Amino acid sequence: MFLRIASIILLVVFYQEVNAENVGNLNQSLSLRQQAIVTIAAFTTKGKPVELNQAIHEGLDVGLNISEVKEILIHTYAYAGFPRSLNGLNVLIQVLKERKQKGLKDKEGRDALPIPTNKSKLELGTEIQTKLIGEPIRGEVYTFAPVIDLFLKEHLFADIFSRDVLDFQSREIATISILSSLGGAEAQLRSHIKVALNVGLTENQLRNLISILELKVSWQDSQLAKNILDNTIKRDKNKFNTLSVDISYQNQNFTGKVWVEMLVSDDRTWNTQIGNVTFSPSSRTNWHYHPGGQILLVTKGPGYYQEKGNAVRIVNTGDIIKCPPNIIHWHGATTMEEFSHIAIGTNMQVGPVIWLQPVSEEEYLNK
């Protein structure tokens, strides 16, 4: 019994030390004021007044002024709706009464400067939106419902994002915290993680934001945000490192010139690996097999696919090829045209691709 109690005590001490270390790491990236934005925005979104009350107290204690806290709660309405925002503002009113009773005097802060009058709200909103995203926004939804595009530009970006009580980094910290806590907003969360990087927040700061969500708000919400951030970082790193090499002498797994762009690099959350592959005429893979299988989505044909012992298949744009696990095969271009496909490695936990000997000229031409 004594040993069991001693073990429990050691585990508790270890857990406390690990959490203390995590919080210490948070402080190195996000400031205390920025950390407070995370919890205020998240608990407002979740509609948890008790936790929000504490989060607002902590935010004011570390230096947020009243106008800044108020602005976080106002900002929340754009993503979580008026009810959550109004409820949050009522919690702030209560917190200020509590602090006044304790003799605490918080800085009021200032109001937002007026919107510039030398531009229309549409012009201003478009300018801010483009600056944040990095390019003009386009999409089928905006053509389908033009008024939503107008609302986004004139209201979200001109009326709200232009309010200078919070800078863009603070607004993105709030927005990511809101969208992570909201649920069902993965596409928007992905977009705002990219915006956060565009406005100067670092990968480490975003990981610290996610750690705050994990430690103080919701582990499940934090994992969704973590997965999206991981994939965003991987894709950005690969985006400008697309391989364009003569594989015949630099990579023994292909014959000819092949371009490979990794879209998802061995993602163990989904156990997949996804790449966009383009073969120059006459180029091809070696014989190989996948322990977990593979799916090929042909985006530009015609091309060739062959399983060991079977005849060569001609595949065309739009074809879907399901390569069963452990079946030896190869695929590549015809002698006349480029061939492209999306290669999806499935069940990657089983093991990576196994490369074998090159496809000889005789095998390639004996179709």
Considering the domain architecture, whether residues 189 and 328 belong to the same structural domain is answered as: no
pLDDT at 248: 35
pLDDT bin (cut points 50, 70, 90) of residue 266 is low
Q: Looking up tokens 């390569």, which residue turns up? A: 323
Tokens of 37: 């934005």
Between residues 95 and 345, which one has the greater pLDDT? 95
**Average pLDDT value for the chain:** 85
Same domain, 72 and 208: yes
Range of the domain at 97: 15-112+163-236
Query: Helices H, strands E: what count in the chain?
Result: 14, 13
In this predicted structure, what is the pLDDT of residue 265?
64
- Do 257 and 357 lie in one domain? The reply is yes
Same domain, 44 and 171: yes
Q: With contact defined as beta carbons under 8 Å apart, do 106 and 65 qualify?
A: yes
For range 261-270, the mean pLDDT: 69
Q: DSSP letter at 65?
A: -
Cα–Cα separations (whole angstroms), residue 215 to 14, 30, 66, 211? 15, 15, 25, 6
Residues 231 and 259 in one domain: no
Pair 300, 172 in one domain: no
pLDDT digits (tens, 9 = 90+) for 79-93: 999 999 999 999 999
* 338 part of a folded domain: yes
- Residue finishing a domain among 236, 256, 272: 236
Q: Which H or E run includes 38?
A: helix 32-46
pLDDT computed for residue 7 by the predictor: 40
Contacts of 270-276 with C-beta under 8 Å, sequence gap 24+, read 271/346, 271/347, 271/348, 271/349, 272/344, 272/345, 272/346, 272/348, 273/344, 273/345, 273/348, 274/342, 274/343, 274/344, 274/345, 275/342, 275/343, 276/340, 276/342, 276/343
What is the bridge-based pairing of β-strands 272-279 and 284-285?
unpaired
Structure tokens that stand for 231 in this block: 């994939």
Among candidate residues 195, 217, 236, the one where a domain is terminated? 236
Domain end (from 192, 211, 236) = 236
pLDDT of residue 245: 37
- Whether 151 is in a domain gets the answer no
CB 258 within 8 A of CB 295: no
Average confidence (pLDDT) over 292-319:
94
- For residues 65 and 40, give the distance between their C-alpha atoms in angstroms, rounded to a whole number: 13
Same domain for 201 and 256, yes or no, is no
Residue 150 lies in a domain: no
Are 218 and 192 part of one and the same domain? yes
24-47 confidence digits (pLDDT tens): 333 347 899 999 999 999 999 999
DSSP letters, 116-137, are: PSSS-HHHHHHHHHHHHHSS--
Query: Are 340 and 223 in a shared domain?
Result: no
Give the pLDDT mean for 293-316. 94
| Residues 293 and 179 grouped into a single domain | no
CB 284 within 8 Å of CB 255: yes
Q: Which residue has the tokens 């948890």?
A: 48
Tell me: pLDDT of 95 over 90. yes
pLDDT at 253: 80
Strands 320-323 and 294-300, sheet pairing: antiparallel
Question: Across the chain, which distance is largest between two alpha carbons, in Å?
Answer: 89
In a domain, 103, yes or no: yes
Is pLDDT of 3 > 70? Answer: no
pLDDT at 21 over 70: no
Separation of alpha carbons 149 and 142, rounded Å? 5
pLDDT at 169 (0 to 100): 94
pLDDT classification of 261: cutoffs 50, 70, 90: confident
User: 1 CB contacts (<8 Å, ≥6 apart)?
Assistant: none
CATH number of the domain residue 338 falls in: 2.60.120.10
C-alpha of 200 from chain center = 16
**Average pLDDT value for residue range 50-71:** 96
pLDDT in tens, 213-245: 998 999 889 998 999 999 888 876 654 444 333
Find the distance separating the first CA and the last CA of the chain, reported in whole Å.
74
CA distance 331 to 223: 37
Q: Is residue 54 part of a domain?
A: yes
